[in-house]
Amino acid sequence: AQSVTQLDSQVPVFEEAPVELRCNYSSSVSVYLFWYVQYPNQGLQLLLKYLSGSTLVKGINGFEAEFNKSQTSFHLRKPSVHISDTAEYFCAVIRNTGGFKTIFGAGTRLFVKA
Amino acid sequence: DTEVTQTPKHLVMGMTNKKSLKCEQHMGHRAMYWYKQKAKKPPELMFVYSYEKLSINESVPSRFSPECPNSSLLNLHLHALQPEDSALYLCASSHAVRTERLNTEAFFGQGTRLTVV
């Protein structure tokens, strides 16, 4: 079975400051990893994904994430946030052997202050 | 076209009503999903259809009835709902075989905000 832990339920940060949203996962099999963003009253939008290869992946809106297999982490970072980045961020995994179940973390609310 | 379209965007229904939520995609995906999302929580999987057949039912009450009429459409029929069923209902789609050669992620619609009164 897989599980995902997002270590911070809320992260307040000032505009133009850097931010890191933390994600740890547990799995007995290899997984693909994702970060999704959800703006208020919207669906989920994929920010980035790690499948294999380079451990640093770049996504949309200036976000990037680093896969660390030894620490089973997939932290999301942005060097300078904007007010418009205020949203809920979900880390998620699926087994890389297939399957339909995406396992989501509890979510982190990023609140960017002016 | 990388969109999953859900209708309606908002729905208010009484506990004795029957209504349906609709979802459509034209990405050639053969897996389609219904999720329920309560406020400040992650999405919870309800149903998965693979090649138009019900593949997963996560012990959802029978007042929710899914239907997949063809490879592009997914419906969720609602009957005799309770106020606690009020939530954002999300539809998603993906390739039925999720490997690096194909897209691995699920694409989500904007959701239907359901209120049961």
Per-residue pLDDT of A15-72, as tens digits, reads: 999 999 999 999 988 889 999 999 988 999 999 999 888 899 999 999 999 999 999 9
Residues A76 and A64: their CA atoms lie apart, in Å, by: 6
Of chain B, the percentage scoring pLDDT greater than 90 comes to 88
Per-residue pLDDT at A28: 87
Using the predicted structure, report yes or no on whether residue A98 has a pLDDT greater than 90.
no
Per-residue pLDDT at A53: 87
CB contact under 8 A, A100 and B88: no
Per-residue pLDDT at B34: 97
Closest CB from A49, A101, A109 relative to B104: A49
Residues of B in contact with A49 (CB under 8 A): 104-105
Per-residue pLDDT at A29: 87
Residues of A in contact with B98 (CB under 8 A): 32, 94, 98-99
pLDDT band for B1, please (50, 70, 90 cuts).
low
End-to-end Cα separation, chain A, in angstroms: 41
Instruction: Give the A:B interface size as CB pairs under 8 Å.
Output: 59
Q: Which residues contact B45 (CB under 8 A, 6 or more apart)?
A: A101, A102, B33, B34, B35, B56, B58
Higher pLDDT, B99 or A54: A54
Mean pLDDT of chain B: 93
CB contact under 8 A, A52 and B100: yes
B45: nearest CA partner in chain A: A101
Average pLDDT over residues B23-27: 96
Of the residues A30, A100, A111, the best mutation for testing chain B's interface (the one with the most B CB atoms within 10 Å of its CB) is A100
